[in-house]
Structure 1
Amino acid sequence: MEQWKKNLIVLWFGQFLVMSGMTMIMPFLTLYLQTDLGLSDPHEIAIWAGFIFSSNFITAFLFQPLWGKLSDKYGRKLMLLRSGFGMAIVMCLMGFAAAPIHLLLLRLLNGVISGFNPASVALVSATTPKNKLGFAMGTLQSGGIAGTILGPLIGGILADAIGYRFIFYITGASIFVATMLVMFIVKERFDRKQASAKPQISVLAGLKQIVVVPQIAALFMITLLIQFANMSPMSLIPLYIQELNPELTNLAFFAGLVSSATGLSNMLASPVLGKIGDVIGAEKILLICLFGSALSFVPQALASDVWHLLLARFCLGLFLGGLVPTVNTLLGKYSPRGMETRTYSFNSSTISLGNVIAPISGGFVSGWIGINGLFIISAVLMLLNGVWVWFSLLHQGSKAEG
């Protein structure tokens, strides 16, 4: 088997285990705070849960560019091992938390040492033949999406079977095994002496050097808008289902089903859209998926029951599957030579920023325009994104070729 295929398979499993581990605690976080960490007031539990969940993204947003800089100097594989082993230890320590503040600090630390995903993307980008890059990026994305879908389900099942604390131990052990596979199977050609001989610049100077490329600046903003449009209504879907079908008694089940429908279609579509992008061009796939996503948000705002919403969310996932991996493909195409991993890390910080501000903004805005109004705003943002892609990538690219 060719080495780039071995890398892709191992990192697919790595993405799956890391993302499932990150999302496995979602179904029982509030229960863990209540039963194991001594909280009883519902309002206090909600506040702690919000801070604990978002803390990981806040520190990831701040530290990803630093790891990207070090990755371009010392190699992507080294950053994968650093992040993987570090997260495995921190996850196990979460099972020993004795108070909410312990869990909060460990989540903050987890965000600091994270970076497995951008390092995976950068390594696959550097080791995959260019005519297979779209397929590889789509496949890698499907691993993360599969983990995001199955993580909460696995966490919910294990919580009932073995208790909350043991889930952290199992998650840490799984990430450790995935990192060991990376250590012994994944390979990259990286000349550390040559990379170290290059002039070293600060994180801020690196950002200035990267965003001076107009296509990369556009892709960063597109990433932020995609994340904002997708995440702002996400946490409110259970309330929206309750509005659509107030007679439902198993609300949590249907909320999970609707969320899983999007993730499932995303996972299925990502490799296919990536392969098509290798033929017709990543810019065109990005444009098609942005306009398709915009159209898919409209029936969500007009849904009359949970089944209409589920169908619309499944259709949305088909187009979402072509967004993040296509952006990663284009970042690899336009990033300055020798700064690929740093570019991916800045983009990962942009995703983390969207994960922090989108749910908060969505909660405030929905109070004025309703939850269905958020879907309309998301549709408009995706539409504007498509226009931006047309002028900043497709139109400028055709002018450059001319």
Structure 2
Amino acid sequence: MDAMPELGVNLDAGPWKRNLLVCVFGSFTTIVAMTLLLPFLPLYVEQLGVTDHAAIVQWSGIAYGATFFSAALTAPLWGQLGDRYGRKLMLIRASLGMAVAMSLIGMAHNVWELVGLRLLAGLLGGYASGSMILVAAQTPKVRSGWALGVLSSGIMAGNVVGPLIGGALPPLIGLRATFLLAGAVIFITFLGTSFLIHEEKRPPQAKSRKSRGAWALIPDKRPILAMLATGVLLMIANMSIEPIITVYVAQLVEPPRLTFFAGLAMSAGALGSILSSSQLGKLADRVGHWTIIIICLAVSAALLIPQAFVDSGWQLIVLRLLMGLALGGLLPCIASVIRHNVPEAIAGGILGYSVSAQYCGQVIGPLAGGFVGGHIGMRAVFLGTCVLMAAGAIGNFIVEKGR
């Protein structure tokens, strides 16, 4: 029996473990569905009637980014609605919406329909972020870091597995059938969410709070602002090297092995986060979430310096893996700190803002990395990101000590 009598908490009480299992599966499948089209998106755009090479590249970028753009805009809204009407209801909406949207993408007739349906997928989706909110709210606080770490591992795994599946399935079943299969799998997530997740009832007054006064209900806003900034930094650290990684690796390895080493360098960080998220979350439950956040940011900053001066592809891969291990503790700890510092009635809305901040980092990271790498130099991308992570560590330390 996993119990903590000294705290007066029975950790096996309630359905939170079953909820976590369903949320991990659902987040994994929906993230796979959102990312599996990466390897064949240009081929699908061409199949929809776009013939010019430059136009294919342009429309592919628009179609891929459309989902994340609409998801960033709607994440706070879904979080607030979850606070008022139930987080499980938001997961049911997201899984059914994603199942329908992914199936319709496989039936698109032109590129405009593709972009519109990708926007719809982001608008109706948000299962992973909704899962983060439900797990944060329903898990006992003394285990929230571990549970959110497990969920983060599932989300990261979806980001790794999605492109792999997208590269393997189309030659076997076709491009359109790949989307239909993804929709069918997400429909299984919809069924599991509907019948297996149990959301504990909240007090009546928690349901009636108005979301428009959410910020006024937070006694100390500094921790929340710090977590929003940390979410942006997390994604900048992950994404800033995306535009330059292939060119940077080309300076370290011979052309026949270029794509192999570039792919490993891109996936090494995600792999490290998958391995460390649950363990760092569990450690944070014991030593404090702020402590883990500060250490993770500081270690990440330190690891960025040697990445700017590597002289072999394997050195870069190992350093990216180690950096992923460090960054893996941030996502669960950000959610845990927010949960511990806001009233239950508005937790979903504030966590929704946190998700939007992370999406902003996904946009800012590649743009900034490409600009700095092109105008200043590729080493400056690593060193500039290092300065940002170090500033984040110092800022979080100051906020934590000043509370």
TM-score (norm 2): 0.93
Paired residue for 1:20? 32
Measure the CA separation in 1 of the matches of 2:219 and 2:323. 30
Measure the CA separation in 2 of the matches of 1:40 and 1:100. 11
Paired residue for 1:9? 21
Q: Using the TM superposition, name which of 143-152 and 226-235 deviates more.
A: 226-235
Q: Is the 8 A contact 1:136 1:274 kept in 2?
A: yes
State the AA in 2 paired with 1:290. Answer: L
Measure the CA separation in 2 of the matches of 1:356 and 1:307. 28
**Match of 2:251, SS?**
helix
**Offset at residue 160 of structure 1 (A):** 2.2
Q: Which runs of 5+ in 1 are unaligned?
A: 398-402
State the AA in 1 paired with 2:228. Answer: F
**Offset at residue 208 of structure 1 (A):** 6.2
Measure the CA separation in 2 of the matches of 1:220 and 1:209. 17
- Distance of aligned partners of 1:207 and 1:87 in 2 relative to their CA distance in 1, 3 Å threshold: farther
Paired residue for 1:396? 402
Residue 292 of structure 1 is aligned with which of 288, 292, 299? Answer: 299
Paired residue for 1:69? 80
Measure the CA separation in 2 of the matches of 1:293 and 1:6. 33
Measure the CA separation in 2 of the matches of 1:255 and 1:165. 28
Q: Using the TM superposition, name which of 132-141 and 254-263 deviates more.
A: 254-263
Q: Using the TM superposition, name which of 293-302 and 231-240 deviates more.
A: 231-240
Residue 308 of structure 2 is aligned with which of 298, 301, 305? Answer: 301
Q: Equivalences for 1:146-225 in 2 at 5 Å?
A: 146-191=157-202, 193-198=204-209, 200-202=210-212, 205-207=213-215, 213-225=221-233
Count of residue pairs the alignment pairs up: 391
Q: Using the TM superposition, name which of 367-376 and 81-90 deviates more.
A: 367-376
Measure the CA separation in 1 of the matches of 2:143 and 2:248. 40
Paired residue for 2:51? 40
State the AA in 1 paired with 2:249. Answer: I
State the AA in 1 paired with 2:193. Answer: V
Measure the CA separation in 2 of the matches of 1:187 and 1:262. 34
State the AA in 2 paired with 1:67. Answer: W
**Offset at residue 373 of structure 1 (A):** 1.4
Say if 2:382 is the partner of 1:375. yes
Q: Is the 8 A contact 1:137 1:271 kept in 2?
A: yes
- Distance of aligned partners of 1:250 and 1:41 in 2 relative to their CA distance in 1, 3 Å threshold: farther
Q: Is the 8 A contact 1:301 1:376 kept in 2?
A: yes
Say if 2:279 is the partner of 1:272. yes
State the AA in 1 paired with 2:144. Answer: L
Residue by residue over 1:224-245, the C-alpha shift from the partner in whole angstroms, topping out at 9 and shown as x without a partner, is: 1222232121232122212322
Q: Is the 8 A contact 2:211 2:349 kept in 1?
A: no
Paired residue for 1:229? 237
Paired residue for 1:118? 129
Residue by residue over 1:143-193, the C-alpha shift from the partner in whole angstroms, topping out at 9 and shown as x without a partner, is: 001111111111101122222111111111111111211111111112485
**Offset at residue 250 of structure 1 (A):** 4.6
Measure the CA separation in 2 of the matches of 1:208 and 1:88. 37
- Name the Cα RMSD after superposition: 1.7
Residue by residue over 1:331-388, the C-alpha shift from the partner in whole angstroms, topping out at 9 and shown as x without a partner, is: 1111233101101101111111122232122212211122221111111111000001
Q: Is the 8 A contact 2:211 2:346 kept in 1?
A: no
**Offset at residue 322 of structure 1 (A):** 0.6
Residue by residue over 1:96-145, the C-alpha shift from the partner in whole angstroms, topping out at 9 and shown as x without a partner, is: 11211111111111111122122211211122111111110111100001
Measure the CA separation in 2 of the matches of 1:42 and 1:328. 42
**Offset at residue 27 of structure 1 (A):** 1.1
- Distance of aligned partners of 1:188 and 1:161 in 2 relative to their CA distance in 1, 3 Å threshold: same
Measure the CA separation in 2 of the matches of 1:192 and 1:105. 39
**Offset at residue 51 of structure 1 (A):** 1.2
Paired residue for 2:6? none
Paired residue for 2:3? none
Q: Which runs of 5+ in 2 are unaligned?
A: 1-11
Measure the CA separation in 2 of the matches of 1:253 and 1:134. 35
Measure the CA separation in 2 of the matches of 1:88 and 1:218. 35
**Offset at residue 72 of structure 1 (A):** 0.5
Paired residue for 1:238? 246
Q: Is the 8 A contact 1:15 1:143 kept in 2?
A: yes
Measure the CA separation in 2 of the matches of 1:68 and 1:252. 40
State the AA in 2 paired with 1:320. Answer: L
Measure the CA separation in 2 of the matches of 1:211 and 1:333. 12
- Distance of aligned partners of 1:63 and 1:276 in 2 relative to their CA distance in 1, 3 Å threshold: same
Residue by residue over 1:265-320, the C-alpha shift from the partner in whole angstroms, topping out at 9 and shown as x without a partner, is: 11010111111111111111111111111112122211212111111111111101
